[in-house]
Amino acid sequence: MLTGLFGGCASKPSLLSSTETRQSPIYRDKAAYNRPYKVKGQTYYPMASARGYSEQGIASWYGYESGNRTAMGTRFYPQGLTAAHKTLPLPSKVRVTNLHNGRSVVVMVNDRGPFRKNRLIDLSQGAAKQIGVRGLANVKVEFLESRASNSD
């Protein structure tokens, strides 16, 4: 789900030193896709909990990777209602609202990305179409729930 044309994110994840990462128990029993990871020399730290998460930024969309595997190992289907985010716990259900037209869609975040400067979330082609995103759009992303933990 990483594309040269549509990758990146607006939010900066919190950065921990390697000592803090080793001592932190929050990642110990997490699935590999919810542990810190590195892309293009940058280390990202997935949130232990996204409760209360709400952020505005730029959304992009992708759809050319049909059949590729997501970070969770599931197949990507462009017409599905899914998304990629750099630090939300996987899987997470979020509401994405297009701030230009007020339309919203609920998607399952099941992949990592976008890894392009100033991008908050990458929507599947089906989700982008549903809220009228035809390239880039200003959106609001609100966390709804996570299947990874009943505490979210």
- Per-residue confidence band for 28, with pLDDT thresholds at 50, 70 and 90: low
Q: Is the pLDDT of residue 96 over 50?
A: yes
Does residue 53 or residue 24 have the better pLDDT? 53
Percent above pLDDT 70 for the chain: 77
Q: Is the pLDDT of residue 87 over 80?
A: yes
Please give the pLDDT value at position 148: 54
The sign of the torsion formed by the CA atoms of 49, 15, 34, 99 equals positive
- Per-residue confidence band for 29, with pLDDT thresholds at 50, 70 and 90: low
**Residue 60: which residues within 8 A CB-CB, separation 6 or more?**
6, 7, 8, 114, 116, 119, 121, 122, 123, 133, 135, 136
Q: Would strands 37-39 and 54-62 be described as parallel, antiparallel, or unpaired? A: unpaired
Look up the CATH number of domain 18-146.
Answer: 2.40.40.10
pLDDT tens-digit readout, 39-52: 999 999 999 999 99
| End-to-end CA gap in the chain | 25
pLDDT tens-digit readout, 114-145: 999 999 999 999 999 999 999 999 999 999 99
Q: Is the pLDDT of residue 7 over 60?
A: no
CA dist., res. 41 & res. 44, Å (int): 10
> 7 is written with which tokens?
């990758």
Does residue 12 or residue 61 have the better pLDDT? 61
What pTM did the predictor assign?
0.79
Query: What is the full DSSP assignment across the chain?
Result: ---SSS--BSSPPP---HHHHHH-GGGTTS-GGGS-EEETTEEE---S--TT-EEEEEEEEE-TTTT-B-TTSPBP-TTSSEEE-SSS-SSEEEEEEETTT--EEEEEEEE----SBT--EEEEHHHHHHTT-SS-EEEEEEEEEESS-TT-
Percent above pLDDT 90 for the chain: 70
What is the arithmetic mean of pLDDT over 56-65? Answer: 89
Q: Is the pLDDT of residue 5 over 70?
A: no
